[in-house]
Structure 1
Amino acid sequence: MEKKAVIAMSGGVDSSVAALLVQQCGYEAIGVTLKLHTNEDAGISREKTCCSLDDVNDARSVAARLGMPFYVFNFTDSFRQEVMDRFVRAYERGETPNPCIDCNRYIKFRKLMQRAREIGYDYVATGHYARVEQDVETGRWLLKKGLDHTKDQSYVLYSLTQGELSRLLLPLGGLTKERVRQIAEENGFVNAKKHDSQDICFVPDGDYAAFIERYAGTKFQPGPFVGTHGEVYGKHRGIIHYTVGQRKGLGLSFPQPMYVCGIDTARNEVVLGKHEELFSRELTARDINLISREMISGPLRVKAKVRYRHAEQPATVLQTGPDELRVTFDEPQRAVTKGQALVLYEGDTVVGGGTIQ
């Protein structure tokens, strides 16, 4: 029986090479680009987004070169509800979310896998730098880091379920970015030298606060900057303009550098403190997903990351409830931020993760 796969093609070089490799492995494959939002949703010009017509055309060009059928799936309603709405609500709660994780969780895997199954395709492939393996002893599906640790994207995939991992193909997991570009050039792909997108697709100018106010249709009110001991320093511009660890853009002058140490939404306060006040050894995470095991039955030694660009750190994790983890780091960590993802590793294997509370 022929294996069939849907390739999620963004128009970038990674997903294009993933499509080629899946095809070379003998899968009957189709290429799919996801239409996730109209630019008017984000209040930006039609040209300025990674989901632009140029990206669709690049994906279509590669699919045509591979002799692969190509389609565009319109997921704009789901993306607005599951990603953009969650992003705005998180900022309103004084959190700093990672919308790429929600996009992977609710759209690229849950929604796309559902659609793939509806049209008779067993697998979904993406251009993420990570690996999926099955444990021969336990039968559990494991998520592992990409072999090119400078490009590893396992952090943003920690929410994958066993069912999703069993149907996921990640053909770039064993390759370097340099090799991927080389393969693209060897095959004459139009996007072989295309730059990677760095921005959140619906906030390409990086001005989160302006986007949130446009999207929510409300103006966030100024309030007090306060110190960690209750001192009042001045007025902030609205809580959505700030995140833990921020130093620039406060509009205040101090004898020493001051940083955002917390956001109190109930009081509409932004809490400022010295650099040493940014550090903490413990955190709680909820909305958890465990991959390498069903549950964490006792204290477990792990390496933990508290944001995408964070170097993983030694820690001990304890599962304190069905949907709660408590992590204690060996050394205090800087700017642990509500709303970001905690991801736990044993070696190259993702144990699981959750949302920092």
Structure 2
Amino acid sequence: MKILAAMSGGVDSAVAAARAVDAGHEVVGVHLALSRMPGTLRTGSRGCCTIEDSRDAHIVAGQLGIPFYVWDFSERFKEDVVDDFIAEYANGRTPNPCMRCNERIKFAALLDRALALGFDAVATGHYAEIVPASDGTPELHRGADLNKDQSYVLGVLTAEQLAHCYFPIGASASKSEVRAEAERRGFPVANKPDSYDICFIPDGDTKAWLADKIPMRPGLIRDESGEVLGEHEGATTYTVGQRKGLGIEKPAADGKPRYVVGVDPRENTVTVGPRASLAIEELEGIRTSWAGRPPADMGATEETGIDCEVQIRAHADPVPARAWLGEAREEVPAAEADPLGPVVPRPRPAGQVLRVRVETPLTGVAPGQTMVVYRGTRVLGQATIDRTVHA
């Protein structure tokens, strides 16, 4: 096959490209320039897709003897990932930019261009596996190393996209195995630290970064009874489940910590409460998509739904649940722009609504997060959490 290897500059994508070459494929390496500040260098182990990463990817491609290119996707990344991140926070939601990047950049913009240029598939260094179903439809499964499994962030991929994806290290026993292989191959990235946090916020200070992008208005912090406990500098920098940095001087009557249980950007208020108020038993998701053939036995009521597991964060444990499809919603027109802020509230997309009831209540679930539904190791699909029901 003719393979386009997406080379981030890290050890995983380096070994993935090498294994694609070893398998006899015609491989071309590409690094995606996503930053609009091309002089940015990695700070510690934070961030990714920097000029340093581009150099590292180029060196590995040279060692493999494959052609190497840098494609500038910075404008698309800004529009589809960074601007989306800002808009979601401005509307009191907590987005996952890695999901959006996989959905709209790596496996949409990149894959579309690769197919247009005659490539058969895009190879990445993700820890996940593609397994053909009995009818040949590709299915997405967890990687062999559950500690590094990345199937969650790939849950946005469709059957059509999976048919052109190649994950050469998905069946690897462990990350240490991948690093050892990179060292044997003489790759300079063998011991390079993993990137983490949000790549376009390299110092990790999301609150300060958002404050520079969204006009902040002082407002009130209230408890669930409506009592004013303090003031904040901007509601949109808070997220459900947050405990630290609330700025509340008055302690709770029982002396226990308070958590953010609600953010209302329209009223510019933050609501706090005890940990028990974070318990969620039902999730409702929009922008539903299926990673392969949709489950044929999923009905439109809880009684006719399916038993499954749901995962709400990349490194969270999956929990037993029941899932069913709600009525498809029509798109709601966007409201007028707030004169105190530049962001127009997002319309709710049309499409299937995925409802999930968990056996054990979840905590700290915020609208905007992604829920990925599994059956065993298989990813069934995903949806963006739009509404939660407290236990």
Which TM class, normalised by the smaller chain length?
A: over 0.9
TM-score (norm 1): 0.94
Matches for 1:306-345 after TM superposition, within 5 Å: 306-322=312-328, 323-345=352-374
CA positional deviation for 1:178: 1.0
Aligned match for 1:101, one of 96, 99, 102? 99
Q: Is the CA contact (8 Å cut-off) linking 1:302 and 1:317 kept in structure 2?
A: yes
Q: Tell me the residue number matched to 2:147.
A: 150
Aligned match for 2:57, one of 53, 56, 59? 59
1:201-247 per-position Cα deviation (integer Å, ceiling 9, x unaligned): 10011112322233x3x421111111112111111121132111111
- Structure 1 101/81 Cα, relative in aligned 2: closer, same or farther at 3 Å? same
After the TM superposition, which of the residue ranges 225-234 and 66-75 deviates more from structure 2?
A: 225-234
Q: Tell me the residue number matched to 1:293.
A: 293
Query: Hey, which bits of structure 1, 4+ residues long, moved more than 4 A?
Result: 44-49
Alpha-carbon separation, structure 2, partners of 1:64 and 1:127: 18
Q: Tell me the residue number matched to 2:347.
A: none
1:286-318 per-position Cα deviation (integer Å, ceiling 9, x unaligned): 101122433533311011111122211011011
TM-score (norm 2): 0.86
Q: Tell me the residue number matched to 1:251.
A: 247
Q: Tell me the residue number matched to 2:20.
A: 22
Q: What is the SS of the residue equivalent to 1:39?
A: coil
Q: Tell me the residue number matched to 1:272.
A: 272
Matched, 1:305 2:311: yes
Q: Tell me the residue number matched to 2:260.
A: 260
Q: Is the CA contact (8 Å cut-off) linking 2:93 and 2:239 kept in structure 1?
A: yes
CA positional deviation for 1:46: 5.1
Alpha-carbon separation, structure 2, partners of 1:292 and 1:63: 32
CA positional deviation for 1:45: 5.3
Alpha-carbon separation, structure 2, partners of 1:96 and 1:8: 28
Alpha-carbon separation, structure 2, partners of 1:199 and 1:190: 23
Q: What is the SS of the residue equivalent to 1:184?
A: helix
Alpha-carbon separation, structure 1, partners of 2:136 and 2:49: 37
Q: Tell me the residue number matched to 1:32.
A: 30
RMSD: 1.5
Amino acid paired to 1:337: A
Q: What is the SS of the residue equivalent to 1:65?
A: helix
Q: Tell me the residue number matched to 1:232.
A: 228
Structure 2 gaps, min length 5? 329-351, 387-391
Q: What is the SS of the residue equivalent to 1:56?
A: helix
Q: Is the CA contact (8 Å cut-off) linking 1:292 and 1:349 kept in structure 2?
A: no
- Structure 1 128/45 Cα, relative in aligned 2: closer, same or farther at 3 Å? closer
Q: Is the CA contact (8 Å cut-off) linking 1:135 and 1:141 kept in structure 2?
A: yes
- Structure 1 45/58 Cα, relative in aligned 2: closer, same or farther at 3 Å? closer
Q: Tell me the residue number matched to 1:132.
A: 130
Percent of pairs with identical residues = 41
Q: What is the SS of the residue equivalent to 1:77?
A: helix
- Structure 1 68/99 Cα, relative in aligned 2: closer, same or farther at 3 Å? same
Q: What is the SS of the residue equivalent to 2:241?
A: coil
Alpha-carbon separation, structure 2, partners of 1:166 and 1:46: 35
Alpha-carbon separation, structure 1, partners of 2:273 and 2:152: 29
What is the count of residue pairs matched by the alignment?
349
In terms of fraction of residues, the more helix-rich structure is 1
Alpha-carbon separation, structure 1, partners of 2:291 and 2:197: 28
1:256-315 per-position Cα deviation (integer Å, ceiling 9, x unaligned): 210001111221111100111110111101101122433533311011111122211011
Alpha-carbon separation, structure 1, partners of 2:221 and 2:114: 50
Q: Is the CA contact (8 Å cut-off) linking 1:39 and 1:202 kept in structure 2?
A: no
